[in-house]
Copies of this chain bind each other. A is one copy, B any other.
């Protein structure tokens, strides 16, 4: 999508293939900075500090990180060590494991000398596949929004949480792909953007990318969505996911579950947009089987923003020495999800429908 009228992806390989370049998302929306990732350590640092974030982009970055690691040493033990180090960089997103498995299996049978180049090519293919998947998600979700517009006869108000936008992927986004497709095809809409504390990916990233693309939006605090749904001011919720179980429980950014409860209580359709790579067919019960990352309490007690003079500064929000808890994700049970918007179309949130759509035999719980 576009920034200042110029087309960008969130991550791209340099022309000489010496490294990849990524938009540093910790600097947005106040500064547009890109960072070079030239080795394994750089990839891990970028993932862990959330310079790159969003399940699909984490996967793509990890794939390139593995490819870069293999340039230093590509024997089996080096491959395994790099795989493990990258896998540990963020625990919740399943795309990370998918991408690492993908690259590893593409190179494991090759002679050591060919592995680094093959991994690099495979990482590039993962990026291209991500773009294609998101386009298909957009095509699957567009009719939902267009139908709402026809039924309501007015602008469609779509609430989203966190950033499942193009910055969370390579391009298009997951939750935003149907929104961009609908906007581009002339369906009048407005996005209600949850600011998404503690890291404010909504206020910082989703607002930024929608604004750059010209999509109408309003930022709201995470507390406001329930009230707006009660008043009929939300027509549809679309969020992304970091991991979805075989029966359809979805882990996503902390706070998603509260919006799903409010949507159900107020008859607002609640959809989760995700490619097949976000599904983890090995687990059923999201509440007991998905590890939820606990991040530093400083993300709660402090926040960064832009001072009046343009400098970016971090300020404390709490009394000195305040204790804080910071779970990063929550799990929305399948029964609160009206459907998944996927690269295979819209799929109901149950084990049977998901298994059929993705060509798998359902695993009994």
Contact = CB atoms under 8 A, between A and B. Distances in A.
Nearest to A329: B227
Interface string A321-347: 111111101110000000000000000
B313 A315 contact: yes
11 contacts: A195-B318, A203-B300, A211-B322, A219-B324, A224-B255, A226-B261, A227-B254, A227-B330, A257-B262, A258-B259, A302-B305
Contacts of A29: 318-320
A318 B197 contact: no
Given A221-B255, A307-B314, 10 more contacts: A30-B316, A195-B318, A207-B322, A219-B324, A220-B300, A224-B330, A227-B329, A227-B330, A258-B259, A305-B316
Contact of A195 (B197, B255, B307, B330): B197
A224 B222 CA distance: 10
A361 interface: no
Interface in A236-253: 253
A204 interface: yes
Q: Which 8 A-B pairs rank lowest in CB-CB distance, beginning with the nearest?
A: A305-B315, A223-B255, A227-B330, A29-B319, A197-B221, A226-B258, A306-B316, A261-B261
A223 B226 contact: no
A169 interface: no
A263 to B, nearest CB: 10
A304 B300 contact: no
A259 B300 CA distance: 19
Nearest to A308: B314
A265 interface: yes
A320 B216 CA distance: 14
A232 to B, nearest CB: 11
B223 A258 contact: yes
A20 interface: no
A8 interface: no
A221 B303 contact: no
A303 B195 CA distance: 12
A317 B204 CA distance: 6
A204 B301 CA distance: 10
A321 B212 CA distance: 12
A314 B309 CA distance: 11
Contacts of A85: none
Interface string A131-164: 0000000000000000000000000000000000
B303 A315 contact: yes
A269 interface: no
